[in-house]
Chain A
């Protein structure tokens, strides 16, 4: 069974937010909320500055506090690609998962359920890439099976310097940022 993950090349990313817009229209994300977002990390003192621009979203972790804490089983691991999903009909909007997520990746949809990135599993199951990956004008995002050593994502992780977000949270996040 595949284990989907994402690799994002921060050297190429310009932080244009196209990933955020494409997700919003693809998934009809309500006004005032987004399932992905841009963080710009600035280091140094002018003029010796460096930036790392990160397109962030749910990390679809291997260890999932959001699933573990869910009282109804709405938060679950999908059989395809081990993607972390929320079954809207089962969710009671208790916000336990919002508190448990170290990445602040979830929000309560105005319709009452916990909402977040799905890795566009509805597209992936049809053989397409997630909307954010397919729209990116800089081609800085890669999606694929981390368990397949020949996948583009696995090769990038083994060949390029990279890091995950908040690894110390121990969730084993599946998004890798190339630096």
Chain B
């Protein structure tokens, strides 16, 4: 256990890679001892699993050729992929062969963030963690440990931490992503959108996208259904400051001024209500507070919205009438990443209300009622009763938060209030890129007694850890069973198809070993995950062997629309669709959404917008060599007139400086006619500065680094991040 510098560590890593490669090419004898492919099968083997390149969890089939990983295809039995993976999923083998992967457990030897480590054994790493956790429990109580996770792989670590006695778990997928949308729909229909989205795009006759860039945002089933809707000549209306790929498929493109979507939504509803174009029967049956809503909406004419949005009043009228023409098969898409301006749950409520006017909730071509394959859980001992309430939202400061708030835990870690947080566990989420204002994240980390990161790659957040635990990638491990709420019931399995190349371990093993070190072994009555999975599957008349062969099994048929038997029930206080929301009024918020003009960029500055590329997921895939070959850096999109005015050249490298003086990495300029003149755009996830992430280091710029400012949604604690402005720094 020698103390080693980063340089030396990289050299050691490099040696490990070389050694692994030598084993696979030169020594079939050793390869023959392969745990998962005991007999090195000649020819082709197909092993079903489910994908982990994003959270959609598509069913996949991995192909081995002569025992080596060859390619991955979609599983035709899978309702999410329908046999076709997205480019990230197709490039999944690059996750296994990524040369920058974490390879052995690491313990920090110098200051946090300096990325200087010693390699340790799993026993040493877990003993170190358990000792610190026991100390924290004694001094502060178990609630002082918080857990940030993304994805299904966090299930077992969460179980261990629950057994330890904390419930302070949060994911950026709520307060930095889909939270406002889910809260806006809950307040209106009494139910969230969920994931995968319950949007029936393939049966929509009119699809409205507000900033939602399907096609660039590659959520597989949605993109497949979108292409289907395009083929069927659906009336597509796209609202975006950028001429997205989706905009190029639209009948109507509304080049909206950023941040003014609520004004447009109110004007659309004004037209629909004043021209009585809504679904009268539906609203008579299911609506609550429609009269108050209609009265309030009457002031928001298209002429009122025009100076705010920049959209011609006649175009607002035309598109409102087109929507009404196809109702109830008119779907105003709720979006997913909706943390934009801090009034996002109210904007999402306006989206929900527009859908309510169309009568699309519960209807074919609108929002379906998802159905889910049920498998009984494992009979674990009860978790200890928590003594302290959750830390993230004290006194219900954000009264309509329906999940835990990451930035609430961060605040508590900085202030020590309502009680101190002394340890973070971070699983598969790069908080440095996911949370706004990285200075606050780093400040919080400095207050910790223990910071543990479990991941497959050395992301920026791993660089701040005390202990880094390397996880095997999805192709090398079992995981929790997968059944998502969707149009049909299905159950999928993830199983190992190839050995991990180093000392990486699956999350279930890490969680179980840690529990044992903490004296909580009784929470893991099973010896290994095969036993756990088989136990649960036997309860429903299946077996692990059977599911391993099929990859996916289907459940019972179930109704998903009102018209085929779903009871029209709404989980709101009134039991109806709340056009006027008494619970919002009672909490001091607008019962019908109102528009407030967002702050505008100072002269010479442009609003920073960011989004997705189809070949990358967040900041997690840039070192995957296959996906890197598709896109190795991001670009800043600049309108051609603006580029001309500032003397920018296409493909020139510049830096961006934000309103707080923060300067980005170098980024390539993309001069384009596909964006407004008051904003710039970049793909999220690039601009890595983790030294261990060698191949992605310094490629492109990070939008997250420039998001120093954010506006918190007072309803639910979401962090609006489209409120930063940047200017160009020419000396690159």
Interface residues, chain A, with chain B CB atoms under 8 Å away: 9, 11-12, 14-18, 20-22, 24-26, 28, 31-32, 34, 42, 44-47, 49-51, 53, 134-140
Q: Which 5 A-B pairs have the closest CB atoms?
A: A14-B215, A138-B227, A47-B255, A16-B614, A51-B248
The complex places the Cα of A105 from the Cα of B625 at a distance, in Å, of: 22
8 Å CB contacts to A: which residues of B613-632? Answer: 614-615, 625-627, 629-631
B626 touches A21 (CB 8 A): yes
CB-based contact A46/B230 at 8 Å: no
Any A CB within 8 A of the CB of B13:
no
| Cβ contacts under 8 Å, B677 to chain A | 46
Tell which of B72, B90, B626, B639 touches A46, judged by Cβ atoms closer than 8 Å.
B639
Which residues of B are in contact with A by a Cβ distance under 8 Å?
A: 70-74, 84-87, 90-91, 93, 214-216, 218, 220, 223-224, 226-228, 230-231, 243, 245-249, 253, 255, 614-615, 625-627, 629-631, 639-640, 672-677
Q: Are A15 and B629 in contact (CB-based, < 8 A)?
A: no
Structural contact, B220 and A137, CB atoms closer than 8 A: yes
Q: Which residue of B lies closest to A52 (CB)?
A: B248
Residue of B nearest to A45 (CB): B673
Compute the total of residue contacts between A and B using a CB distance below 8 Å: 120
Q: A47-B255, A135-B84 are in contact. List 7 more A-B contacts (CB 8 A).
A: A12-B231, A14-B227, A18-B90, A46-B255, A49-B247, A51-B245, A140-B227
Residues in chain B near residue A47, CB distance under 8 A: 243, 253, 255, 676
Nearest CB of B to A88, in Å:
18
Sample (30) of A-B pairs whose CB atoms are under 8 Å apart: A12-B230, A14-B227, A14-B246, A15-B614, A16-B218, A17-B87, A17-B614, A18-B84, A18-B85, A18-B86, A20-B87, A22-B71, A24-B629, A25-B70, A25-B91, A46-B640, A46-B673, A46-B677, A47-B243, A49-B674, A50-B248, A51-B245, A53-B245, A53-B248, A134-B84, A135-B74, A135-B84, A137-B84, A137-B224, A137-B227
B interface, over-half SS:
mixed
Q: Which of B70, B91, B245, B640 contacts A21 (CB 8 A)?
A: B91
- The distance in angstroms between the C-alpha atoms of A49 and B625, with both chains bound, is 33
Inter-chain contact B673/A49, CB cutoff 8 Å: yes
B670 CB, nearest partner CB in chain A, Å: 11
Report Cα–Cα, A134/B72, bound state, in Å: 12
What residues of A have a CB within 8 angstroms of the CB of B629 in the complex? 24, 31-32, 34
Residue of B nearest to A47 (CB): B255
Distance, CA A51 to CA B228, complexed state (A): 19
Report the Cα distance A11→B243, complex, angstroms.
15
Partner of B90, one of A9, A49, A51, A135: A135
In the complex, residue of chain B having the shortest beta-carbon distance to the beta carbon of A138: B227
CA distance A20 to B231 in the complex (A): 23
**Of B73, B223, B227, B672, which is in contact with the most chain A CB atoms at under 10 Å from its CB?**
B227
Bound together, the chains give a CA A134 to CA B246 distance in angstroms of: 22
B271 vs chain A, min Cβ distance (A): 21
Check A138 against B626 for contact (C-beta < 8 Å): no
Residues of B contacting A31 with CB < 8 Å?
625, 629
Task: Give the distance to chain B from A20, nearest Cβ to Cβ, in Å.
Answer: 6
Is the CB–CB distance between B90 and A22 below 8 Å?
A: yes
- Asked if B73 contacts A137 (CB within 8 A), the reply is no
Complex CA gap A134/B73 in Å reads 9
| Residues of A close to B227: CB separation below 8 A | 12, 14, 137-140
Complex CA gap A18/B74 in Å reads 12
